[in-house]
Amino acid sequence: MGVAKNQREKILAGVPADRRAYAEEQLDVVADGLSRLNALIAERSAEKVVALQRSLLRNIGNVEQAMVVGFPFEVPAEYADKPLLKGRATVEMTIRKAGEDFDIMGTIYKEGKLTMVIDGYNAPVTAGNFVDLVQRGFYNNDTVVRSDGFVVQIGRPNTKDELYVDPDTGLKRTIPLEVFAKNDKAPTYGLTLEDDGRGYAATKLPFSVNGALAQARNEFEANTGSSQVFWFLFEPDLTPAGRNLLDGRYALFGYVTDGDYFLKSFGVGDQVVEAKVVDGLENLVLPGKQAS
Protein backbone atom coordinates (compact mmCIF):
# COMPACT_ATOMS: atom_id res chain seq x y z
CA MET A 1 0.00 0.00 0.00
CA GLY A 2 2.94 2.29 0.71
CA VAL A 3 4.20 2.03 -2.86
CA ALA A 4 0.85 3.08 -4.32
CA LYS A 5 0.55 6.04 -1.94
CA ASN A 6 4.10 7.16 -1.20
CA GLN A 7 5.49 6.81 -4.73
CA ARG A 8 2.33 7.88 -6.53
CA GLU A 9 3.78 11.04 -8.07
CA LYS A 10 6.96 9.25 -9.06
CA ILE A 11 4.91 6.60 -10.86
CA LEU A 12 2.64 9.16 -12.52
CA ALA A 13 5.64 11.17 -13.72
CA GLY A 14 6.23 8.46 -16.32
CA VAL A 15 2.68 8.59 -17.68
CA PRO A 16 1.87 10.82 -20.70
CA ALA A 17 -0.51 13.68 -19.87
CA ASP A 18 -3.38 12.28 -21.95
CA ARG A 19 -3.32 9.03 -19.93
CA ARG A 20 -2.66 10.47 -16.48
CA ALA A 21 -6.29 10.55 -15.31
CA TYR A 22 -6.71 6.89 -16.27
CA ALA A 23 -3.49 5.92 -14.46
CA GLU A 24 -4.63 7.83 -11.36
CA GLU A 25 -7.90 5.90 -11.35
CA GLN A 26 -6.01 2.60 -11.55
CA LEU A 27 -3.70 3.58 -8.68
CA ASP A 28 -6.72 4.53 -6.57
CA VAL A 29 -8.15 1.07 -7.17
CA VAL A 30 -4.82 -0.52 -6.21
CA ALA A 31 -4.55 1.50 -2.99
CA ASP A 32 -8.11 0.63 -1.98
CA GLY A 33 -7.63 -3.01 -2.94
CA LEU A 34 -4.47 -3.38 -0.88
CA SER A 35 -6.35 -2.15 2.18
CA ARG A 36 -9.04 -4.77 1.57
CA LEU A 37 -6.38 -7.40 0.91
CA ASN A 38 -4.93 -7.00 4.39
CA ALA A 39 -8.38 -7.55 5.90
CA LEU A 40 -8.96 -10.68 3.80
CA ILE A 41 -5.57 -12.08 4.82
CA ALA A 42 -6.49 -11.52 8.47
CA GLU A 43 -9.76 -13.38 7.85
CA ARG A 44 -7.83 -16.25 6.19
CA SER A 45 -10.11 -16.01 3.14
CA ALA A 46 -7.72 -17.75 0.74
CA GLU A 47 -9.98 -17.80 -2.33
CA LYS A 48 -10.94 -14.14 -1.93
CA VAL A 49 -7.28 -13.19 -1.42
CA VAL A 50 -6.24 -14.90 -4.67
CA ALA A 51 -9.14 -13.34 -6.60
CA LEU A 52 -8.31 -9.85 -5.33
CA GLN A 53 -4.59 -10.31 -6.02
CA ARG A 54 -5.36 -11.22 -9.63
CA SER A 55 -7.63 -8.21 -9.99
CA LEU A 56 -4.99 -5.84 -8.57
CA LEU A 57 -2.34 -7.26 -10.88
CA ARG A 58 -4.56 -6.30 -13.82
CA ASN A 59 -4.80 -2.74 -12.45
CA ILE A 60 -1.03 -2.56 -12.04
CA GLY A 61 -0.62 -3.85 -15.59
CA ASN A 62 -2.96 -1.11 -16.79
CA VAL A 63 -0.72 1.52 -15.17
CA GLU A 64 2.36 -0.04 -16.76
CA GLN A 65 0.70 -0.02 -20.17
CA ALA A 66 -0.30 3.63 -19.74
CA MET A 67 3.40 4.47 -19.29
CA VAL A 68 4.45 2.92 -22.59
CA VAL A 69 5.05 5.36 -25.45
CA GLY A 70 5.45 3.61 -28.79
CA PHE A 71 6.52 -0.01 -29.13
CA PRO A 72 9.77 -0.95 -27.34
CA PHE A 73 11.46 -2.80 -30.24
CA GLU A 74 11.21 -3.48 -33.97
CA VAL A 75 9.65 -6.77 -35.01
CA PRO A 76 11.83 -8.31 -37.77
CA ALA A 77 10.64 -7.34 -41.25
CA GLU A 78 10.38 -10.99 -42.28
CA TYR A 79 7.32 -11.29 -40.03
CA ALA A 80 5.53 -8.26 -41.50
CA ASP A 81 3.04 -10.62 -43.15
CA LYS A 82 1.81 -11.80 -39.73
CA PRO A 83 -0.79 -10.18 -37.47
CA LEU A 84 1.04 -8.38 -34.64
CA LEU A 85 -0.23 -7.37 -31.21
CA LYS A 86 1.58 -4.16 -30.27
CA GLY A 87 0.35 -3.89 -26.71
CA ARG A 88 -1.95 -5.98 -24.53
CA ALA A 89 -5.41 -7.39 -25.12
CA THR A 90 -7.97 -9.16 -22.95
CA VAL A 91 -9.76 -12.26 -24.20
CA GLU A 92 -12.76 -13.87 -22.53
CA MET A 93 -13.58 -17.50 -23.24
CA THR A 94 -16.68 -19.48 -22.30
CA ILE A 95 -16.09 -23.21 -21.91
CA ARG A 96 -18.44 -26.14 -21.37
CA LYS A 97 -18.00 -29.79 -20.45
CA ALA A 98 -19.39 -32.53 -22.68
CA GLY A 99 -22.47 -34.00 -21.03
CA GLU A 100 -21.88 -32.74 -17.49
CA ASP A 101 -21.28 -29.63 -15.44
CA PHE A 102 -18.13 -28.28 -13.84
CA ASP A 103 -17.86 -29.27 -10.18
CA ILE A 104 -15.36 -26.92 -8.55
CA MET A 105 -14.94 -27.84 -4.88
CA GLY A 106 -18.62 -28.69 -4.58
CA THR A 107 -19.92 -25.69 -6.53
CA ILE A 108 -21.65 -26.59 -9.81
CA TYR A 109 -21.17 -24.45 -12.92
CA LYS A 110 -23.01 -24.99 -16.21
CA GLU A 111 -20.20 -23.15 -17.98
CA GLY A 112 -16.74 -21.95 -17.09
CA LYS A 113 -15.44 -18.52 -17.93
CA LEU A 114 -11.78 -17.70 -18.49
CA THR A 115 -10.31 -14.21 -18.66
CA MET A 116 -6.88 -13.98 -20.29
CA VAL A 117 -4.46 -11.10 -20.65
CA ILE A 118 -2.53 -11.46 -23.92
CA ASP A 119 0.92 -9.85 -23.86
CA GLY A 120 2.02 -8.37 -27.16
CA TYR A 121 4.82 -6.39 -25.54
CA ASN A 122 6.79 -9.59 -24.96
CA ALA A 123 5.43 -11.79 -27.77
CA PRO A 124 3.92 -9.60 -30.52
CA VAL A 125 3.89 -12.24 -33.27
CA THR A 126 2.50 -15.07 -31.15
CA ALA A 127 -0.01 -12.84 -29.38
CA GLY A 128 -1.08 -11.23 -32.66
CA ASN A 129 -1.69 -14.61 -34.24
CA PHE A 130 -3.92 -15.68 -31.34
CA VAL A 131 -5.90 -12.44 -31.07
CA ASP A 132 -6.49 -12.44 -34.83
CA LEU A 133 -7.82 -16.00 -34.69
CA VAL A 134 -10.04 -15.14 -31.72
CA GLN A 135 -11.41 -12.13 -33.59
CA ARG A 136 -12.11 -14.34 -36.63
CA GLY A 137 -14.14 -16.72 -34.44
CA PHE A 138 -11.76 -19.62 -35.06
CA TYR A 139 -11.96 -20.97 -31.51
CA ASN A 140 -15.76 -20.78 -31.24
CA ASN A 141 -17.18 -24.31 -30.88
CA ASP A 142 -13.66 -25.74 -30.77
CA THR A 143 -12.90 -28.80 -28.63
CA VAL A 144 -10.07 -29.83 -26.33
CA VAL A 145 -7.64 -32.17 -28.10
CA ARG A 146 -5.27 -32.80 -25.19
CA SER A 147 -5.71 -32.78 -21.42
CA ASP A 148 -3.15 -34.83 -19.54
CA GLY A 149 -2.74 -33.14 -16.16
CA PHE A 150 0.16 -31.14 -17.53
CA VAL A 151 -1.40 -29.06 -20.31
CA VAL A 152 -4.83 -28.44 -21.86
CA GLN A 153 -4.67 -27.89 -25.62
CA ILE A 154 -7.15 -26.48 -28.15
CA GLY A 155 -7.11 -25.10 -31.70
CA ARG A 156 -6.47 -28.10 -33.95
CA PRO A 157 -7.70 -27.17 -37.46
CA ASN A 158 -9.42 -29.68 -39.70
CA THR A 159 -6.47 -30.03 -42.08
CA LYS A 160 -4.21 -32.97 -42.85
CA ASP A 161 -1.06 -31.33 -41.46
CA GLU A 162 -2.92 -29.55 -38.63
CA LEU A 163 -1.97 -26.08 -39.86
CA TYR A 164 -4.42 -23.19 -40.03
CA VAL A 165 -5.32 -22.01 -43.53
CA ASP A 166 -6.01 -18.29 -43.81
CA PRO A 167 -9.34 -17.95 -45.66
CA ASP A 168 -8.29 -14.53 -46.98
CA THR A 169 -5.20 -15.86 -48.75
CA GLY A 170 -5.76 -19.60 -48.98
CA LEU A 171 -2.27 -20.05 -47.51
CA LYS A 172 -1.20 -22.08 -44.50
CA ARG A 173 -0.22 -19.87 -41.58
CA THR A 174 2.76 -20.73 -39.42
CA ILE A 175 4.59 -18.50 -36.97
CA PRO A 176 8.12 -18.64 -35.60
CA LEU A 177 9.06 -19.61 -32.08
CA GLU A 178 9.25 -16.33 -30.15
CA VAL A 179 11.01 -16.28 -26.77
CA PHE A 180 12.01 -13.16 -24.84
CA ALA A 181 14.97 -13.74 -22.50
CA LYS A 182 14.89 -11.63 -19.37
CA ASN A 183 17.92 -9.44 -20.05
CA ASP A 184 17.42 -9.08 -23.81
CA LYS A 185 15.98 -6.02 -25.56
CA ALA A 186 13.88 -8.02 -28.04
CA PRO A 187 12.64 -11.60 -28.47
CA THR A 188 14.70 -14.37 -30.02
CA TYR A 189 13.02 -15.86 -33.09
CA GLY A 190 13.24 -19.32 -34.59
CA LEU A 191 15.39 -20.88 -31.86
CA THR A 192 14.87 -22.24 -28.39
CA LEU A 193 17.12 -20.54 -25.85
CA GLU A 194 18.91 -23.86 -25.45
CA ASP A 195 19.64 -24.02 -29.19
CA ASP A 196 20.81 -20.41 -28.91
CA GLY A 197 23.38 -21.51 -26.33
CA ARG A 198 21.48 -19.92 -23.45
CA GLY A 199 19.53 -22.73 -21.88
CA TYR A 200 20.27 -21.19 -18.49
CA ALA A 201 18.55 -17.87 -19.30
CA ALA A 202 15.33 -16.88 -17.55
CA THR A 203 12.44 -15.61 -19.65
CA LYS A 204 10.36 -12.46 -19.23
CA LEU A 205 7.20 -14.55 -19.31
CA PRO A 206 7.84 -17.74 -17.30
CA PHE A 207 5.72 -20.85 -16.92
CA SER A 208 5.32 -20.13 -13.22
CA VAL A 209 1.56 -20.02 -12.63
CA ASN A 210 -1.50 -22.07 -13.41
CA GLY A 211 -3.06 -20.98 -16.69
CA ALA A 212 0.04 -19.73 -18.47
CA LEU A 213 -0.96 -19.63 -22.17
CA ALA A 214 1.50 -20.75 -24.84
CA GLN A 215 1.81 -21.64 -28.51
CA ALA A 216 1.80 -25.33 -29.36
CA ARG A 217 4.20 -26.59 -32.04
CA ASN A 218 5.95 -29.68 -33.32
CA GLU A 219 8.33 -30.72 -30.56
CA PHE A 220 11.32 -30.94 -32.90
CA GLU A 221 10.54 -28.02 -35.25
CA ALA A 222 10.63 -24.56 -33.71
CA ASN A 223 8.73 -22.68 -36.41
CA THR A 224 5.62 -24.84 -36.71
CA GLY A 225 3.24 -22.86 -34.49
CA SER A 226 -0.13 -22.21 -36.12
CA SER A 227 -3.52 -22.19 -34.39
CA GLN A 228 -3.03 -24.68 -31.56
CA VAL A 229 -2.39 -23.25 -28.10
CA PHE A 230 -2.17 -24.75 -24.63
CA TRP A 231 -2.63 -23.78 -21.01
CA PHE A 232 0.00 -24.93 -18.54
CA LEU A 233 -1.34 -26.65 -15.42
CA PHE A 234 1.01 -25.53 -12.70
CA GLU A 235 1.94 -27.99 -9.95
CA PRO A 236 4.33 -26.46 -7.38
CA ASP A 237 5.73 -29.87 -6.43
CA LEU A 238 6.68 -30.63 -10.05
CA THR A 239 7.85 -27.19 -11.13
CA PRO A 240 11.15 -25.88 -9.68
CA ALA A 241 11.06 -22.30 -8.45
CA GLY A 242 11.99 -19.94 -11.29
CA ARG A 243 12.69 -22.66 -13.84
CA ASN A 244 11.06 -25.58 -15.66
CA LEU A 245 11.42 -27.51 -18.89
CA LEU A 246 9.08 -25.26 -20.89
CA ASP A 247 10.77 -21.90 -20.28
CA GLY A 248 12.74 -20.91 -23.37
CA ARG A 249 11.37 -23.81 -25.41
CA TYR A 250 7.79 -22.68 -26.02
CA ALA A 251 6.38 -19.23 -26.71
CA LEU A 252 4.35 -18.05 -23.73
CA PHE A 253 2.16 -15.08 -24.62
CA GLY A 254 -0.42 -14.63 -21.88
CA TYR A 255 -1.94 -15.70 -18.60
CA VAL A 256 -5.39 -16.62 -17.34
CA THR A 257 -6.21 -13.91 -14.81
CA ASP A 258 -9.61 -15.26 -13.78
CA GLY A 259 -11.16 -18.73 -13.97
CA ASP A 260 -7.97 -20.81 -14.09
CA TYR A 261 -9.54 -23.24 -11.59
CA PHE A 262 -11.74 -24.57 -14.43
CA LEU A 263 -8.76 -25.79 -16.44
CA LYS A 264 -8.01 -28.99 -14.51
CA SER A 265 -11.59 -30.13 -15.18
CA PHE A 266 -11.42 -29.19 -18.88
CA GLY A 267 -10.97 -32.52 -20.66
CA VAL A 268 -10.63 -33.96 -24.16
CA GLY A 269 -13.86 -33.42 -26.09
CA ASP A 270 -15.01 -30.53 -23.90
CA GLN A 271 -15.95 -27.39 -25.79
CA VAL A 272 -14.97 -23.77 -26.20
CA VAL A 273 -18.39 -22.17 -26.63
CA GLU A 274 -17.08 -18.72 -27.51
CA ALA A 275 -13.89 -16.68 -27.41
CA LYS A 276 -13.94 -12.91 -27.83
CA VAL A 277 -11.59 -9.94 -27.55
CA VAL A 278 -13.05 -7.59 -24.94
CA ASP A 279 -10.23 -5.07 -24.69
CA GLY A 280 -7.12 -4.04 -26.62
CA LEU A 281 -8.28 -4.91 -30.14
CA GLU A 282 -6.92 -1.54 -31.26
CA ASN A 283 -3.43 -2.95 -30.58
CA LEU A 284 -3.83 -5.64 -33.25
CA VAL A 285 -1.94 -4.66 -36.40
CA LEU A 286 -2.91 -6.67 -39.47
CA PRO A 287 -0.54 -7.21 -42.42
CA GLY A 288 -0.30 -4.15 -44.63
CA LYS A 289 -1.64 -1.82 -41.95
CA GLN A 290 0.24 0.48 -39.60
CA ALA A 291 -0.35 0.76 -35.87
CA SER A 292 -2.18 3.94 -34.95
For 171-219, the pLDDT digits (tens) are: 999 999 999 999 999 999 999 999 999 988 999 999 988 999 999 999 9
What are the residue boundaries of the structural domains of the chain, listed by start?
A: 2-67, 77-285
**Residues with Cβ within 8 Å of residue 178, at least 6 apart in sequence:** 123, 124, 125, 126, 187, 188, 189, 215, 251, 253
At 45, the amino acid letter reads: S
What's the one-letter identity of residue 79?
Y
Q: Alpha-carbon distance 195 to 254, whole Å?
A: 23
pLDDT tens digits along 103-157 = 999 999 999 999 999 999 999 999 999 999 999 999 999 999 999 999 999 999 9
Q: Is 77-285 a CATH 2.40.100.10 domain?
A: yes
Whole-model pTM: value is: 0.84
pLDDT given for residue 216 in this prediction: 98
Write the DSSP string, 8-40: HHHHHTTS-GGGHHHHHHHHHHHHHHHHHHHHH
Q: Give 292's pLDDT tier (boundaries 50, 70, 90).
A: very low
Mean pLDDT of 35-47: 81
| pLDDT score for 56 | 83
Average pLDDT over the chain, rounded to an integer: 90
Q: What is the mean pLDDT of residues 78-101?
A: 95
